[in-house]
């Protein structure tokens, strides 16, 4: 089946990118089709990388990652990757338009880190390796801005091979020199994005907060990978610590009062933003190489044999709880939180590990209860619909 082309989008030369629609569907929906260019199709390494992009994207299901639809050969034998069209604006221009709302911008950046953290915690972790403002589209929704990662063109499995391609200044030194890549490589790019967001926010941000955030960005972009945050979860923890004293309320115009019972989705978003910090703390310490935080074992009982892995199991359950609360699935979140408690209560571990697990649960619960006990929450004001996608280059 061939799609109807609506228009061609600017691309970096490896592929041709089109907005398309499926002529056979009864529901009109614009999709994005990425097709390896004729020239690049002749290069086996590029063909493999393109297939990897489709394979990786097919594995991913996350609100802040573009959704895969289909991969097929067209009539001329070229591989085509079809995905949802993200109705959004590139991060840099979006941040520029919102430079007078630093909290909204920083919260959106936190969502980007969460999406990368999700990649880093797949059963087989993935590295994006091309994180930059052009590859992050910010979608405006009723619950506030939602950044979405696109362009997995040079993404690879952790430890696997792939194309040597990179974009300075986001690319880490090890990416430029062709040495071992890891989650810390994506951390470098995130740190560079934070540097640029802070420049954009300029004087609009409290000077002490800016200094703390600059220190986070400095650590994320260190030349030595050993001195950087090891992964996106650890970076999230750094961001949370830097923002911990950022207590001033949003200006009234950015702070609609939303009743807890009236807008569960908005409440869940606010819960998610706060919980993200707590969960990131847990992940940063124990979940780095942990098990799949996805749906497997959702309601599973914990057996004593899992004892050795119990801190990771706990992290995974808390991650699932966080994800459920973020989706307004309070029952699902509670279920996962109860599972986390059972893990902490029933597995046989040494006293120090048990104490660490107990503290992590307490921290998670404290943040969750704080939010759930409130009768109203602050939520970021929805931003106006973006004027469209700017040409990336």
Using CB under 6 A, list all residues that contact ligand ATP: 9, 11-15, 17, 32, 34, 66, 83-86, 134-135, 137, 150-151, 153, 389, 392
Residue nearest to Mg ion (CB): 151
Between residues 66 and 317, which has the closer beta carbon with respect to ligand ATP?
66
Between residues 117 and 134, which has the closer beta carbon with respect to Mg ion?
134
CB 17 within 8 A of CB 31: no
Q: Is 165 exposed, middle or buried (0-12, 13-18, 19+ CB in 10 A)?
A: middle
Distance CA 63, CA 137 (A): 12
User: What does the block give as tokens for 112?
Assistant: 């980007």
Between residues 104 and 389, which has the closer beta carbon with respect to Mg ion?
389
Buried b (16+ CB within 10 A) or exposed e, 341-358: bbbbeebebeeebbebbe
Query: Smallest gap, in angstroms, from Cβ of residue 186 to Mg ion?
Result: 15
The answer to whether residue 200 forms part of the interface with Mg ion (CB under 5 A) is no
Per-residue x/- track, 11-50, Mg ion (CB under 5 A): ----------------------------------------
Between residues 171 and 277, which has the closer beta carbon with respect to ligand ATP?
171
Q: Would you put residue 202 in left (φ > 0), alpha (ψ -120 to 50) or beta?
A: left
Between residues 109 and 152, which has the closer beta carbon with respect to Mg ion?
152
Non-local CB neighbours of 349 within 8 Å, separated by 6+ positions: 307, 310, 311, 357
106 is in the binding site of which of ligand ATP, Mg ion, none (Cβ under 5 to 8 A by kind)?
A: none
Q: Is 217 exposed, middle or buried (0-12, 13-18, 19+ CB in 10 A)?
A: buried
Query: Smallest gap, in angstroms, from Cβ of residue 207 to ligand ATP?
Result: 34
User: Which contiguous run of DSSP H or E holds residue 68?
Assistant: strand 68-73
Between residues 134 and 231, which has the closer beta carbon with respect to ligand ATP?
134
Residue nearest to ligand ATP (CB): 12
Non-local CB neighbours of 249 within 8 Å, separated by 6+ positions: 255, 378
Q: Is 180 exposed, middle or buried (0-12, 13-18, 19+ CB in 10 A)?
A: exposed
Query: Smallest gap, in angstroms, from Cβ of residue 121 to Mg ion?
Result: 23
13 is in the binding site of which of ligand ATP, Mg ion, none (Cβ under 5 to 8 A by kind)?
A: ligand ATP
Between residues 37 and 346, which has the closer beta carbon with respect to Mg ion?
37
The answer to whether residue 151 forms part of the interface with Mg ion (CB under 5 A) is yes
Between residues 155 and 279, which has the closer beta carbon with respect to ligand ATP?
155
Query: Smallest gap, in angstroms, from Cβ of residue 113 to ligand ATP?
Result: 19
DSSP 101-146: -HHHHHHHHHHHHHHHHHHHTSSS-EE----SGGGEEEEEETTEEE
Strand partners, 19: 7, 32
DSSP 356-392: HHHHHHHHHHHHHHHHHT-SEEE-PPPPPPP--PPP-
Between residues 10 and 300, which has the closer beta carbon with respect to Mg ion?
10
15 is in the binding site of which of ligand ATP, Mg ion, none (Cβ under 5 to 8 A by kind)?
A: ligand ATP
User: Which contiguous run of DSSP H or E holds residue 7?
Assistant: strand 4-9
Query: Smallest gap, in angstroms, from Cβ of residue 212 to ligand ATP?
Result: 31
Total of residues contacting Mg ion (CB under 5 A): 2
Query: Smallest gap, in angstroms, from Cβ of residue 171 to ligand ATP?
Result: 14
Query: Smallest gap, in angstroms, from Cβ of residue 137 to ligand ATP?
Result: 6
Query: Smallest gap, in angstroms, from Cβ of residue 62 to ligand ATP?
Result: 14
118 is in the binding site of which of Mg ion, ligand ATP, none (Cβ under 5 to 8 A by kind)?
A: none
85-144 residues near Mg ion, rule: CB under 5 A: 135
State the alpha helices, DSSP H only, in 207-263. 207-220, 232-243
CB 12 within 8 A of CB 36: no
11 is in the binding site of which of ligand ATP, Mg ion, none (Cβ under 5 to 8 A by kind)?
A: ligand ATP
* Site of interaction with Mg ion (CB under 5 A): 135, 151
């Amino acid at each position: 089946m061939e799609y109807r082309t609506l228009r061609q989008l600017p691309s970096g030369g490896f592929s041709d990118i089109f907005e398309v629609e499926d002529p056979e569907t009864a529901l009109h929906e614009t999709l994005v089709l990425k097709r390896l260019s004729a020239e690049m199709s002749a290069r086996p390494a590029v063909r493999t990388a393109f297939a990897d992009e489709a394979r990786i994207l097919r594995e991913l299901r996350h609100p802040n990652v573009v959704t895969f639809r289909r991969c097929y050969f067209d009539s001329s034998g070229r591989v085509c990757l079809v995905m949802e069209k993200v109705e959004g604006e590139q991060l840099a221009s979006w941040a520029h338009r919102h430079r007078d709302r630093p909290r909204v911008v920083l919260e959106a950046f936190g969502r980007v880190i969460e999406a990368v953290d999700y990649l880093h915690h797949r059963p087989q972790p993935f590295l994006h390796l091309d994180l930059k403002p052009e590859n992050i589209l910010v979608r405006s929704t009723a619950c506030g801005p939602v950044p979405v990662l696109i362009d997995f063109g040079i993404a690879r499995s952790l430890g696997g091979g792939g194309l040597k391609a990179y974009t300075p200044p986001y690319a880490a030194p090890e990416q430029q020199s062709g040495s071992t890549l890891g989650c810390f490589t994506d951390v470098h790019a995130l740190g560079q994005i934070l540097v640029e967001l802070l420049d954009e926010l300029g004087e609009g941000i409290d000077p002490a907060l800016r200094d703390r955030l600059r220190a986070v960005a400095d650590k994320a972009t260190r030349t030595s990978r050993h001195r950087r945050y090891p992964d996106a979860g650890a970076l999230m923890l750094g961001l949370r610590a830097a923002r911990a004293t950022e207590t001033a309320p949003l200006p009234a115009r950015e702070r609609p009062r939303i009743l807890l019972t009236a807008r569960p989705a908005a409440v869940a978003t606010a819960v998610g933003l706060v919980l993200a910090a707590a969960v990131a703390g847990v992940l940063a310490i124990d979940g780095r190489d942990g098990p799949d935080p996805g749906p497997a074992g959702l309601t599973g009982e914990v057996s004593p044999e899992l004892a050795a892995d119990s801190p990771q199991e706990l992290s995974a359950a808390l991650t699932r709880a966080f994800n459920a609360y973020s989706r307004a699935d309070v029952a699902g979140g509670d279920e996962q939180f109860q599972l986390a408690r059972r893990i902490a209560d029933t597995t046989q571990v040494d006293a120090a590990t048990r104490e660490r697990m107990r503290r992590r649960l307490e921290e998670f619960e404290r943040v969750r209860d704080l939010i759930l006990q409130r009768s109203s929450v602050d939520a970021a004001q929805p931003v106006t619909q973006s004027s469209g996608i700017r040409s990336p280059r």
